[in-house]
Structure 1
Amino acid sequence: MAAVTVTTDPAGASPRGGRVQAPGRGLGEDWKRHIVGQLKHRDLSQHAQFQDLIRFYTRLLEKTSLTKGILSCSLSRPSFDSSCSISSLLHQKKQLKKTTGELAYQVVDLQQQIKIKERDLEEQHARLAEEEHRLAGALDARQELQERVEQVQEENGALKTEYDSLLERQRAAEMRLREEKVREEHLLEDMIHLKQQAAARMNSRNERKSRAREAKLQKELQTAARAKVTVDTCSSAPTSRSTSPKTENQPESEKRHTRLFRSASATSPRILSSIRELFDRKRRGHSVCSLEEDLVCPVGIWGSARVPVRALQVLEAHEQGINAVRFSASSDLLATGGTDRVIKLWEVRAGSLTHRATLDGSTEGITCIEFDPAGFRILAASYDKSALLWRLDDSVPKLTLTGHSRKVTAARFSSCLHQVVTGSADRTIRLWDLHRAACVQEVEVVSYCSDLVCSENCIISGHYDSKIRVWDTRTVSCIQELPAQGKVTSLDISSDHRQLLSCCRDDCLQLLDLRRRSNERMCFRAEGFKCGSDSTKAVISPDSCFLAAGSADGAVYIWNVSTGNLETRLPDKHSLSISAVSWSLSGEYVVSVDKSRRAVLWSDI
């Protein structure tokens, strides 16, 4: 243990210039206790020093009292010398008092300094203890963090190992997928080749049968042409190939009324060509047809539209807001789609909606719905940058068309049954081939596409730059631009493809006659009608006599096309802005949907 050396004066009264040697390193906490002991020892020595000072001060007081006694004795014997000694003693007394006061003041000052030092020492001890406690806590926390780091490193190592294994499995799965795709392509090619061979064999067989039938028919026709037929002018008796015995026995006058003729018309080129065309049609009927020839498209019955007057049914159709609604061509099926990422199918019977099926597969909300003309498939646009195609008897999408970089706002069937058109917020319009599930044409537009409709060889699109553009699908070019009064939120085309309806953010519906080259159009406004959003959908009635749109105040507004006036207003069934309206092709029902999950079935019944 290191020693502490304290140097004192020769009398041993007080320490003089004490010096503490620093303890050696590596001795742990002993040096601290040693220093504390030395400090206590120094405190005791200083206290003893002040005891000596007090003792000296007491002795000085005793000497002062003794001096007072001597002075009193000297004053009792007056003399000249004594007077001198008394004055000197008084002077000494004053000096002693002065010295005594200074010493007393120094004593008090030293005592105050001792108290201050003791308080500082206590504070230093408290701070030292607190820092030692904090140090211990920091060491514990450091140990815990170090253990946690080691644990996390182990977990990361395990995750890295698992990730590597999963990556290897994914690569192997991708390799197998590529192999399966190649195998599928080969199998598809083989199947197509076999189908072609089977079709060729069937066509050859049908051709041989047709030729045999044609040859047989030709032979019968030639035989019939060579036969002679007797026609009786006065009766409708059956003919025979030769004259009957009865005619041979008739007199000459009766034979004049009977003539023999040859059916030359049966062998005329016109009849033979007609027969050949008939057989050609039969041969073509047995050949392999394309998808468009095999697909039968029932035509929806366009009824006279009836203006609805009351709500037949109000229901909470979805879990979240509804963005789109559409009737099928047969008017007995309704589809709704919303932000809950599903499409719900409803059967329309006797003035009520009954849930039939739910189509899922989209990862985000639905923006647009369209039935195909045959009524077997349904097409939808989605916020997940894709368009999806379902069969009505399957809840899983048959096709998913991906390629847009932003949400798809519109998806429609084109005039060709195997093609669809999509418009997107990425300022492109794409034409898709459903046979290949691939984009065959892409058109870049200068503005956000909000909606589109299709006509024969044309695509009409509405945009946020207040323009309606007409595109020719054969040349992939814009052939006409029609100005609008505001952002175009929706487009709808009449059943006969003669009129185009646009809804804009300026709270106005515009009806354009596509047969005219001029930009003249009819505008429809109403007090209280407000276009609630950038995707509000308006529709034309099936007979093109009325227009319907939903307003931000939750009411359905219906205008008369012939008069241009508001026909009716249907309020009080929607609590929020109406997002879309659909009119059945039968003209009997109107359905409106809003952002609060509500669908309302309207009719005049």
Structure 2
Amino acid sequence: MDPGGSSRSAAWRGHIVQQLKHRDRIQSAMFQDLIRFYTGLLDRTSLTKGLLGRPPAERRSSLQQLKKTTGELAYKVLELQQQIEIKERVLQELQARLQKEDGRLAEASDAKRALRDEVEQVRQKNKALKAAYDALLQRQREAESKLREEKEKEERVLEDMMHQKKQAAARMNHRNERRSRARQATVQKQLQTAARSKVIEERGLSSSSSSAPTSRSTSPKPEDQDKSGGRGATRLFRSASASSPRFFSSIREMFDRKRRGHSVRSLEEHLLFPVGICLSARVPVRPLQVLEAHEQGINAVRFSFSSDLLATGGSDRVIKLWDVQAGSLTHRATLDGSTEGITCVEFDHMGRRILAASHNKSALLWRLDDSVPKVTLTGHSRKVTAARFTCVPHQVVTGSTDRTVRLWDLNRAACVQQGEVASFCSDLVCSDSSIISGHFDSKIRVWDSRAVSCVQELPSQGRVTSLDLSSDRRQLLSCCRDDGLQLLDLRWTNDRMCFRADGFKCGGDSTKAVISPDGCYLAAGSADGAVYIWNVSTGGLEARLPDRHSSSVSAVSWSLSGEHFVSVDRSRRAVLWSDV
């Protein structure tokens, strides 16, 4: 026998045995209930047979037991039937709910399809509206560019007109001076002629009244004639210069013409220099006027260079202008156009325009006679904290919390230079050839205004909230979150003074401090509503103004004339202070 064949036959038999066992298990599982039922019937049958073969007494007891067991089984059957009925009712309810939910699902699917159709229609409409908006935006940009060109032409025409007026005034002044000089020379010649004729007449009278008319007396010597003539001319010239009405009238005309000639000056020449020049600033001691200036908190305040106009900017998105007259503030105008709160305001040197920084990531420029912004400078990605006029005409500089400092050309309303830093910019000031910025990283940066490149970094006591330059542009004041002020001499950058006071606390990241116009005092508002004033020469606290503010003082401003001082707070209140 082949051993390989025997092993294959054994494996074949084992496989058949396993299949038979598997079939038995499946079939026995299928008939398990029937087998149990059949086994129960057999038990009952054997029980019945046993009862029939037993005595009657045992048979009766067994029957009773059987009845009892059968009753229990019947009761269980009834209970099971009731449970089956309950299950069937529950199943019917579930089926009904399922059908209802299927209907709702179908309705929701239909609504979903309808909404999808509506969304697609809205998308198509949005695409059409976007195309129309882009076309309108392009037209608006073209119109704005044309408007800027027209405004530039208008400004050039005005500049040409002003230049021509200046030249005409200069020519008129030159002609007036020539005429006055010619008239003066004519008057002098007339006076000399009159003096000579008077001398001749006096000499004629003296010769006719002489008691010894001789040839010597009637014909005097030439040297005597020269001497007497010289004395008489000198004497008569003095008397004529003091009493001649023609001389007075000619001199008066000459001065009138000179005065008229000097008065022919353009408005710009008059406004180049401020009217009020501060010789000695007055330290305020008491409030003159307290008013609710805005509907929300006030963030910025600034006097004009003529000291007769005040601007306040607040969280209510407007700038308000106030006339400063007779020790009171009178509302003059409201400038709107910003969509967010105002953070900084500043007048230009001519007193015709006002610049403001805003939380809406832009800076705005108004004319004082127009409540609508003339120029809007957009480009920052976060709020603009500072906006200043530079020393170059038609240029401004802005600082933002997007960590950039930007230089703008107002004629084009475009950014021409940009500098990036590693920290938020809180405030800016401009000197003759540089821009100085304060930052949250406790540093003060000096920029070259021509290229907006950082040329120097100066350390500060803490996070800088504001900067201010003295009138002579030699000292720089910085207010910091460490509750102190720092005065830096720009000529010697290592020379600095720190000012602190008990109770003074910087109230926010944008608290503004100022230097008095004569450079003798520093002023800042505190979180407790008081205003603190320091003496620069002594380094000590000069005054603490009484509490007229109900919240933190956000900014203060000193007029260039040194006569007025204003403080504002975050609860809409502005206070005008007096030195008496």
Q: Give the TM-score taking structure 1 as reference length.
A: 0.68
Residue 65 of structure 2 corresponds to residue 101 of structure 1:
yes
Counterpart position of 2:359: 383
Counterpart position of 1:519: 494
> Equivalents in 1 of 2:551, 2:349: separation in Å?
32
Which residues of 2 match residues 28-107 of structure 1 at below 5 A? 90=55, 92-107=56-71
Counterpart position of 1:598: 573
**Which secondary structure does the structure 2 equivalent of 1:302 belong to?**
coil
Q: Say whether the 8 Å CA contact 2:295–2:316 is kept in structure 1.
A: yes
Counterpart position of 2:280: 304
Q: 1:421 aligns with which of 397, 401, 422?
A: 397
> Equivalents in 2 of 1:195, 1:352: separation in Å?
36
Over the aligned positions, Cα root-mean-square deviation in angstroms equals 4.7
Q: Say whether the 8 Å CA contact 1:482–1:519 is kept in structure 2.
A: no
**Deviations 1:95-137, CA, capped at 9 Å, x for gaps:** 4532441243123212222223212312331342244045325
Displacement, 1:356?
A: 1.8
Displacement, 1:470?
A: 2.4
Structure 1: which 4+ aligned runs deviate by more than 6 Å?
181-211, 228-232, 249-252, 291-295
| Change in CA separation of 1:518 and 1:355 when aligned onto 2, cut-off 3 Å | closer
Greater mean alpha carbon deviation, residues 134-143 or residues 590-599: 134-143
Q: What amino acid sits opposite 2:136 in the alignment?
A: A
> Equivalents in 2 of 1:570, 1:205: separation in Å?
53
Counterpart position of 2:12: none
Q: Say whether the 8 Å CA contact 1:592–1:600 is kept in structure 2.
A: yes
Residue 128 of structure 2 corresponds to residue 173 of structure 1:
no
**Deviations 1:485-531, CA, capped at 9 Å, x for gaps:** 1111111111222222111111111112233x241222111111111
Query: Unpaired segments of 5 or more residues in structure 1?
Result: 1-59, 68-87, 240-245, 260-281
> Equivalents in 1 of 2:297, 2:167: separation in Å?
59
Counterpart position of 1:329: 305
> Equivalents in 2 of 1:155, 1:312: separation in Å?
63
Q: What amino acid sits opposite 1:236 in the alignment?
A: A
| Change in CA separation of 1:520 and 1:356 when aligned onto 2, cut-off 3 Å | same
**Which secondary structure does the structure 1 equivalent of 2:467 belong to?**
strand
Counterpart position of 2:110: 146
Counterpart position of 2:315: 339
| Change in CA separation of 1:363 and 1:191 when aligned onto 2, cut-off 3 Å | closer
> Equivalents in 2 of 1:579, 1:134: separation in Å?
67
Displacement, 1:314?
A: 2.4
Q: What amino acid sits opposite 1:433 in the alignment?
A: D
Counterpart position of 1:555: 530
> Equivalents in 1 of 2:162, 2:570: separation in Å?
54
**Which secondary structure does the structure 1 equivalent of 2:385 belong to?**
strand
Counterpart position of 1:236: 195
**Which secondary structure does the structure 1 equivalent of 2:320 belong to?**
strand
Displacement, 1:418?
A: 2.3
Counterpart position of 1:466: 442
Q: Say whether the 8 Å CA contact 2:152–2:411 is kept in structure 1.
A: no
Which residues of 2 match residues 281-320 of structure 1 at below 5 A? 296-302=272-278, 304-320=280-296
Counterpart position of 1:262: none
Q: What amino acid sits opposite 1:595 in the alignment?
A: R
Percent identity at matched positions?
A: 57
Count of aligned pairs between the two proteins: 487
Q: Say whether the 8 Å CA contact 1:337–1:344 is kept in structure 2.
A: yes
| Change in CA separation of 1:542 and 1:195 when aligned onto 2, cut-off 3 Å | closer
Q: What amino acid sits opposite 2:130 in the alignment?
A: L
**Deviations 1:442-463, CA, capped at 9 Å, x for gaps:** 2223332211211111222212
Q: What amino acid sits opposite 1:170 in the alignment?
A: Y
Q: What amino acid sits opposite 1:553 in the alignment?
A: D
Residue 371 of structure 2 corresponds to residue 399 of structure 1:
no
Q: Going by fraction, where is helix more abundant, 1 or 2?
A: 2
| Change in CA separation of 1:208 and 1:506 when aligned onto 2, cut-off 3 Å | closer
Displacement, 1:364?
A: 1.4
Q: Say whether the 8 Å CA contact 1:317–1:599 is kept in structure 2.
A: yes
In our comparison, the structure showing a higher alpha carbon Rg is 1
Greater mean alpha carbon deviation, residues 129-138 or residues 452-461: 129-138
Displacement, 1:424?
A: 1.7
Displacement, 1:206?
A: 12
Counterpart position of 1:359: 335
Residue 93 of structure 2 corresponds to residue 129 of structure 1:
yes
> Equivalents in 2 of 1:527, 1:371: separation in Å?
34
Displacement, 1:180?
A: 4.8
**Which secondary structure does the structure 2 equivalent of 1:237 belong to?**
helix
| Change in CA separation of 1:345 and 1:522 when aligned onto 2, cut-off 3 Å | same
**Which secondary structure does the structure 2 equivalent of 1:533 belong to?**
coil
Q: Say whether the 8 Å CA contact 1:448–1:464 is kept in structure 2.
A: yes
**Which secondary structure does the structure 1 equivalent of 2:96 belong to?**
helix
**Deviations 1:381-420, CA, capped at 9 Å, x for gaps:** 1112211111111111111112222221111112223222
Which residues of 2 match residues 486-525 of structure 1 at below 5 A? 486-515=462-491, 517-525=492-500
Displacement, 1:205?
A: 12
Displacement, 1:537?
A: 0.8
| Change in CA separation of 1:481 and 1:390 when aligned onto 2, cut-off 3 Å | same
Residue 125 of structure 2 corresponds to residue 162 of structure 1:
yes
| Change in CA separation of 1:186 and 1:380 when aligned onto 2, cut-off 3 Å | closer
Q: Say whether the 8 Å CA contact 1:510–1:522 is kept in structure 2.
A: yes
**Deviations 1:534-581, CA, capped at 9 Å, x for gaps:** 111111112222211111112111112222111222243222221111
Displacement, 1:466?
A: 1.6
